[in-house]
Amino acid sequence: MLPTITRRKKVLVIGGGPAGLKAAAVAAARGHEVELHEADRRVGGQVLLAERLPGRAEFGGAITNLEGEARRSGARVLVGSRVDAEAVAAVAPDAVVLATGARAARSWN
């Protein structure tokens, strides 16, 4: 069981990959007001690429489960939604979770 909160906070999660979805689910399950923004039309991040590999379709199920967990916990999930500094200021969150993933390493050859 998750620890209960003493004060409800507004949490803004930027990025709808596995980490962002899980952060949103946990924060919402604890009782916080959570809004998750994903720039793409679908949540999933890099996992969506992995599910296309032969024999790896199960990765898509992981994202479906994480998205369902976030929504059932009460998080508001917005897709096709880019967030910039102005948008963060407009929301005025108590906390921001930046879960936008990583970029591929540059080749040093």
Q: Going from the N-terminus, what domains does the chain have, and what CATH number goes with each?
A: 10-98 (3.40.50.720)
Confidence band of 105 (pLDDT split at 50, 70, 90): low
- Rounded to an integer, the average pLDDT of 64-69 is 95
pLDDT tens, position by position, 18-35: 999 999 999 999 999 999
- Rounded to an integer, the average pLDDT of 82-105 is 91
Residue among 19, 35, 52, 27 at smallest CA distance from 93: 35
109 pLDDT higher than 60: no
Q: Compute the half-sphere exposure of residue 68: CA atoms within 13 Å on the CB side of its CA.
A: 6
15 pLDDT higher than 70: yes
Confidence band of 91 (pLDDT split at 50, 70, 90): very high
Q: Model's pTM, two decimal places? A: 0.88
Query: For residues 72 and 58, what is the distance between their CA atoms, to the nearest angstrom?
Result: 21
